[in-house]
Structure 1
């Protein structure tokens, strides 16, 4: 692949050099151990998502179109081609608002990354150490693209699970395939031009779940294309006309290209990935934490208050503070007043609290009318690092007012959960699909991934026998 002259590819090349040169023995031990927990969490999410309506639609559709039977559709007995398995499995991981996120990068990583890597392992073969290394490559680059683009990227209507997640998938796959620097540059270029996803999907469309699956599929394909000499955009971030940064932002002051390569190999963004313990969009978790904190101080239920006001950033208000309409499960899980009503009525906001009846539950709809989400300009002014910060006020019928401020949610990088909580979440989800013995073997295999000779074993353990 001949190098084109007379243009800047500084950051694209810097990313590619990092990914192509990353080796297992370069990973700090804490990064290796954290990555295993992130992978375990994503596998649990993907297994639970196997039998959701949107996942089954994809499974049926692609089974009828795809005669290849090489790679596992997690939580089923079915197999598809590597690319289509990545599409379905990525959709399943993102399928019920349970999966990880990098808050500053505003991107889900496991849903885009893991399905592509399992497909490579089953298609080509991959050791456990190489699988882990490829995952870290993805978890390092995906967030940096998101940080570069700032929260304004989602604020203007792009869905980062698709638009940013694709870079994680492409870089993870490139590392898994052992691409050199030049090939990895082209894999980046393929990812950038296939990037897509619109936030309008949050108002009820099933396709919202598919964005991460599309990222997994296209990121994988882009790396395979690059391996076989199909050229991509070599300066995909730097190009002034039609480059990723300029096209997906409103102006030059809304992205910072230096963030693409800042700290590579020294600052590990993998350690800043957060996990969910509520089955709803991350932008609502701090408010839910605030309410449970207030309940610990002053126990109360649905009949005890007049109104709740959530003060948050403009991004939070736009993302989850809109007026609820019962137009599907996606709308329910991405609407903060609905989730607060669910917490107050059900005592939790996990998988058992969401079903078809819940979407139109008159009790929840009546209660959510007492919840208001408003922008606090002071929180907005603190920038992207504080976009999930909230100040929650509860006004009680007896005249009391209690308030709680929460900057980061439980499970976030600053309040990361202990391994026991993450394993418990995995088991609660995987148990819906796998027998106990298989679930336990999958758990133990992921937690000792370094010693696995052939990572294709993961695909076998994700298969319903």
Structure 2
């Protein structure tokens, strides 16, 4: 393909899938799963609504935006559709609780749902079935872009949730608006040129929480502007000069375009999305599960430990294996040694275990010093689907070494949670923002989404009254 070529078989293929997707074509297991995934993301957002960084956005944007079309979840605030997408996406991603497509390296609900919900409120003719179909369209696309790019994308410093997320958000919003194939191509091309996000934000910066919201907003802009007639980069994924894949990989060959449209209608990436049961970055979960299992087999306390060795992929080592420094709550939730120390000292690693006061906790920091993260070339060679695999060795002061290997964490696509566990997590998180009766109504509305005449009912149930 020459640099001047406008050939776009993959971008066009995505647009055809998104524009042509129908509710009836979605398998029953996918429809059931997407409702659980949506429920989980909304619970995460409701918990996130009171967090400092979310309140900064709520307060700031309320001062500069006089439009009151769309709900800010878990609050009484209302903003314009683009600003609601920004804030609500930040809430979903606000506390390292939300879903992740591990191989595609993307938090999907945080980028798809805020844009789509904004459209549901401003376009009252979107039914529950329409919403569910559009959500699946969005959940299918971003992970495929991630699979195309591979884990090296985040390894070289791009925050994939922000960069890949624009395509999921644009796809969901385009389907929600009922855009045709050509318009959807432009929506993707407008969203793709807005992609941005730097992984240095993980070292304590609040702005890391905002990346998903910004991607959701960019995808919403892409769909709305395309509907209005604005043209985008029609070969945004294929272009050899300045295209997404070549630019973000700094190469012409370290990506696989075939992944972008692989298996449409047969392989559903929605089923490969995992949920979190620890309030920390997904790369840490397999290690925490390994320690959980080891303690169940042979109880030991933090004071019995000489050192802990975690062997993982190159991405795991680079992403979460760095030496902990008390730079803020974000870095505490992303750093693997600190999260291991938190789990061992507190007995869990959920929302109750993280607050600003623990960032410099001397006991956690001292125990974190005993946790060492090593690169295991064999794990890296297994590819993106095993990027979270770890082999954990707990060396006790007695001289005994306990070993556990984990390929997938609890809640992962290979070990998905029960409906009851997902619902329990949702109810626990949602109760921080809404009364129990409203939490129950929201739960039932999401799980019975096909029966909703208007998807805007979801937004009403997400609002404080």
Q: TM-score surpassing 0.5?
A: yes
Shift of the alpha carbon at 1:250? 2.5
Q: Secondary structure at the match of 2:193?
A: helix
- C-alpha deviations, 1:163-214, integer Å up to 9, x for none? 0011100000000000000000000001110001000000000000000000
Residues 270-301 of structure 1: CA deviation (Å, up to 9, x unaligned): 00000000000000000000001100111011
Contact 2:278–2:350 under 8 Å retained in 1: yes
Measure how far apart 1:380 and its partner are.
1.1
Q: Distance in 2 between matches of 1:7 and 1:76?
A: 45
Task: State the Cα distance separating 1:218 from its structure 2 match.
Answer: 0.8
- 1:344-398 CA-to-partner distances (Å, cap 9, x unmatched) read 0000000000011111111101110010011011111111111100000000011
Secondary structure of 1:34's aligned partner: helix
Counterpart in the other structure of 2:189:
189
Quote the Cα distance in structure 1 between the aligned partners of 2:367 and 2:305. 10
Q: Does 1:44 align with 2:43?
A: yes
Q: Secondary structure at the match of 2:372?
A: strand
Question: Partners of 1:355 and 1:296 in 2: how far apart?
Answer: 27
SS at match of 1:414: coil
1:246 equivalent in alignment to 2:234: no
Structure 1 residue 253 displacement after superposition? 2.7
1:310 aligned counterpart, secondary structure: strand
Q: What displacement does 1:399 show? A: 1.1
Say if 2:39 and 2:426, in contact at 8 Å, map to a contact too: yes
Residue number in structure 1 paired with 2:33:
34
Task: Name the counterpart of 1:13.
Answer: 12
After superposition, residues 54-453 of structure 1 pair within 5 angstroms as 54-125=53-124, 126-453=126-453
**Residues 86-143 of structure 1: CA deviation (Å, up to 9, x unaligned):** 0000000000000001011000000001111110000112100000000000011010
Distance 1:109 1:382 in 2: 24
Tell me the CA shift for residue 252 of structure 1.
Answer: 2.5
C-alpha separation between the residues in 2 aligned to 1:382 and 1:146?
17
CA drift of 1:8 comes to 1.1
Q: Aligned partners of 1:10, 1:366: CA distance in 2, in Å?
A: 54
Report how many residues are paired: 461
Ranges of 4+ aligned residues in structure 1 off by more than 6 Å: none
Unaligned segments of structure 2, at least 5 residues: none
Distance 1:28 1:384 in 2: 26
SS of alignment partner, residue 303 of structure 1: helix
Identify the range of structure 1 (175-184 vs 379-388) with the bigger mean alpha-carbon deviation.
379-388
TM-score (norm 2): 0.98
How far apart in 1 are the matches of 2:160 and 2:98? 14
CA distance in 1: counterparts of 2:110 and 2:463, whole angstroms: 18
Cα distance, 1:153 vs. partner? 0.3
Cα pair 2:5 2:239 within 8 Å, conserved: no
Cα distance in 1 for residues equivalent to 2:10 and 2:198 = 26
Query: Equivalent residue of 1:213, what SS?
Result: helix
Partner Cα separation in structure 2 for residue 328 and residue 311 of structure 1 = 26
Distance 1:392 1:6, change over 3 A: closer
Look up the SS of the partner of 1:394 in the other structure.
strand
C-alpha distance in 1 between matches for 2:381 and 2:22 = 40
* Residues 6 and 234 in structure 2, CA contact (< 8 A), matched pair in contact too: no
TM-score by length of 1: 0.98
SS at match of 1:252: coil
Structure 1, residues 282-323: CA drift from partner, whole Å, max 9, x if none? 000000000011001110111011000000001000000001
SS in 1 for 2:463: coil
RMSD over aligned Cα atoms: 0.8
For residues 13-44 of structure 1, the C-alpha deviation after alignment (integer angstroms, 9 at most, x for no partner) is 00000000001111100000000000000000
Q: CA deviation at 1:156?
A: 0.5
Tell me, which stretches of 5 or more residues in structure 1 are unaligned?
none
Rounded Cα–Cα distance in structure 2 between residues aligned with 1:97 and 1:301: 26
